[in-house]
Structure 1
Amino acid sequence: MSALVGLLRAAGRTAGLEGEELERRVARTLAYLRRRVTGDYDLDAFGFDQEFTEEVWLPLLRPIYRHWFRVEVRGVEHLPAEGAALVVANHSGTVPVDGLMLQFAIHDEIGRHTRMLGADLVFSSPFIGELARKAGSTLAANPDAERLLSTDQLTTVFPEGFKGVGKGFAERYRLQRFGRGGFVTAAVRTGAPIIPCSIVGAEEIYPMIANVKSLARVLGFPYFPITPLFPLLGPLGLVPLPSKWLIEFGPPIETASLGASAADDPMLVFDLTDQVRETIQQTLYSLLLQRRSVFF
């Protein structure tokens, strides 16, 4: 135990902690580890581990968010301090790092956890699936989305899915199809507002110049990327390029006045889906004009 305390103190000093603050952090970490060992912690019905997320997951993302991508957030006033809302964002980057940065941004700005909706492949992957659930993600299915929204959860969806993450670099910042509008029906049925979110910066972290489809099929992946650095540089090629990120939340699109039955109107669902998609696309164009440099 004394060796562990010494190690924690050394790590704290490396992080710039001293005196009482260092001792508080050491005591807090020891208490956390004790609860982990004894199983004295809670998971919700979806497997979300709030303590793990706050004590381990988000602190791991903090230096990447603040010092590597230097994320700048706009439109925070459009995020609700309480109650349900559905954040709808563009998806890109070859590896879905944008979801992690968006998760940290929302918690850092308003202190709320957003519940990410992810693809089947995420939850069928060893280790990654369990980690995703602990950090608050769940399956991108309407029943799960409606359960979260009906319990006043702030929920996030990426309607482009793998079509957005796996598109080539030549198609950067061009939104892919938004599926059948399932996210709109979930919002309308629960009366949750839809908040468009535009993310600039993720497209440049792993510029995908080619997709080896045959190898992707063999491995069971939706795509197999070739970037300027991967696989040429091996594991070093997995380090994301330090692009400058901008995240902007748009004004909420209210759905409460429509009534739950409106979710069964295909034309209304189509129009709302198109409105959200067009809002995100136009905001992306605007942010790209405002960004002075990709990396600086």
Structure 2
Amino acid sequence: MPPPETFSDSAAFLVSQYLKAAATPNNTLTGWSLEDRDPHVIEKLLPFFGGVYRHYFRVKTDGWEHIPAEGKVLLIGSHNGGWAAPDTVMMAYDWFRHFGTERPIYAQMESRMWRVWPALARLATQVGALRAHPQTALAALRQNASLLIYPGGLKDVFRPHALRHKIHFGGHQGFIKLALQEAVPIVPLISYGAHSTLFILADVYPVLQRLHHRGIPWPWGIDPGTWPIYLGLPWGLALGPLPNIPLPVQLHTRICRPIFFDRYGDAAAHDKAYVDECYHRVTRLMQLELDRLVEEEKGQQNDD
């Protein structure tokens, strides 16, 4: 039996896989296929992310008993921490720690990643990333795989620091329609600390949008969807949705109780009033859970 992977072995493997992904043709690892997820790659990356989990972010986590031991669930999260999204990565590590790498789970990722950072997108595809599209969501759930969605997308992950303790889905209700259509429970994910791994001062996207309407082209010809001004590593002051190195802030992640609805099926998914009702119920319950987590953490800090 080969010796277990060490942190340094796993880090070297991460670098080599990234370089391979960078050299991969554009028509492979596109985020459209469930078959690109590779449990072997995930296994070899776990020691590296385990070290980051224990020593860099010093993660506290709870609520994993709310995920059933088998079957599919629709995980819905509040997105935090810029492109690094440290709570997402640490929750993924915890999933594999609890359920192993063979239990299928996928996460929808912003499709623009395949254009602006294709090497990272192709690497993430091997860990289970899919393009954020209804087609990939349906494909995953109909293969009895669990699926992670961040409805707020880029505007959520780059929301200003003052909104760090707010559920910020921006009215996006596609995940509700998906849950109703596929009759799958929603399991909310929340966290504390991840949105303090950088300090987002403002999002000036509306200003740039007005300039674009007056004829100024988008950088690289891509509408970024957000344009944050933030303080963080490695830039100091960053203008735009630049990749960031998260600060070593302790994270507390939490899996909340599953949310079930009274009605499921196509009729429920196409009932606008019912979809609105379910959406507001989910966001309200998630905000209550997040408020509770924030109060717990502040109380603990005061005790210390």
Please give the TM-score of this superposition, normalised by the length of structure 1. Answer: 0.77
Structure 1 range deviating more: 241-250 or 224-233: 224-233
Q: Structure 1 residues 113 and 147, CA, compared in 2 at 3 Å: closer, same or farther?
A: closer
1:83 aligns with 2:89: no
In 2, the alpha carbon distance for the partners of 1:194 and 1:238 equals 30
Cα distance, 1:113 vs structure 2: 4.6
In 2, the alpha carbon distance for the partners of 1:117 and 1:281 equals 22
Count of residues in correspondence between the two structures: 261
- The question of whether the paired residues in 1 share the 8 Å contact of 2:187 and 2:258 is answered with yes
Name the counterpart of 1:276.
282
1:232 aligns with 2:236: yes
1:245 aligns with 2:251: yes
Counterpart residue identity of residue 231, structure 1? W
1:73 aligned to which of 40, 61, 64: 61
**Partner deviation per Cα, 1:246-267 (whole Å, 9 max, x = no partner):** 1111221225852343111111
- The question of whether the paired residues in 2 share the 8 Å contact of 1:188 and 1:256 is answered with no
- Secondary structure, aligned partner of 1:209: strand
Q: Structure 1 residues 123 and 46, CA, compared in 2 at 3 Å: closer, same or farther?
A: farther
Cα distance, 1:89 vs structure 2: 0.8
Larger relative contact order, structure 1 or 2 (CA cutoff 8 Å, min sep 6): 2
Counterpart residue identity of residue 68, structure 2? P
Q: Structure 1 residues 216 and 228, CA, compared in 2 at 3 Å: closer, same or farther?
A: farther
Cα distance, 1:226 vs structure 2: 2.5
- The question of whether the paired residues in 2 share the 8 Å contact of 1:103 and 1:114 is answered with no
Runs of 4+ in 1 over 6 A off after TM superposition: none
In 2, the alpha carbon distance for the partners of 1:54 and 1:256 equals 39
Structure 1 range deviating more: 74-83 or 211-220: 211-220
Supply the RMSD in Å over aligned alpha carbons: 3.3
In 2, the alpha carbon distance for the partners of 1:150 and 1:178 equals 27
**Partner deviation per Cα, 1:113-138 (whole Å, 9 max, x = no partner):** 53111111123332012112111010
1:168 aligns with 2:160: yes
Q: Structure 1 residues 238 and 293, CA, compared in 2 at 3 Å: closer, same or farther?
A: farther
Counterpart residue identity of residue 278, structure 2? L
Q: Which runs of 5+ in 2 are unaligned?
A: 21-28, 209-215
Name the counterpart of 1:131.
123
1:51-200 equivalent positions in 2, closer than 5 A: 51-56=40-45, 58-95=46-83, 96-111=85-100, 112-124=103-115, 125-200=117-192
- The question of whether the paired residues in 2 share the 8 Å contact of 1:178 and 1:277 is answered with no
Counterpart residue identity of residue 47, structure 1? D
- The question of whether the paired residues in 1 share the 8 Å contact of 2:232 and 2:246 is answered with no
- Secondary structure, aligned partner of 1:227: strand
In 2, the alpha carbon distance for the partners of 1:196 and 1:232 equals 33
In 2, the alpha carbon distance for the partners of 1:284 and 1:244 equals 16
1:27-38 equivalent positions in 2, closer than 5 A: none
- The question of whether the paired residues in 2 share the 8 Å contact of 1:192 and 1:256 is answered with no
In 2, the alpha carbon distance for the partners of 1:59 and 1:209 equals 34
- Secondary structure, aligned partner of 1:280: helix
Structure 1 range deviating more: 110-119 or 130-139: 110-119
In 2, the alpha carbon distance for the partners of 1:133 and 1:256 equals 35
Q: Structure 1 residues 88 and 232, CA, compared in 2 at 3 Å: closer, same or farther?
A: closer
- The question of whether the paired residues in 1 share the 8 Å contact of 2:201 and 2:228 is answered with no
Q: Structure 1 residues 255 and 54, CA, compared in 2 at 3 Å: closer, same or farther?
A: farther
Counterpart residue identity of residue 114, structure 2? F
Cα distance, 1:152 vs structure 2: 1.2
- Secondary structure, aligned partner of 1:120: coil
Q: Structure 1 residues 98 and 266, CA, compared in 2 at 3 Å: closer, same or farther?
A: same
Q: Which runs of 5+ in 1 are unaligned?
A: 1-7, 16-24, 37-42
1:218 aligns with 2:219: yes
**Partner deviation per Cα, 1:23-57 (whole Å, 9 max, x = no partner):** xx9xxx9xxx9xx9xxxxxx96352112111222x
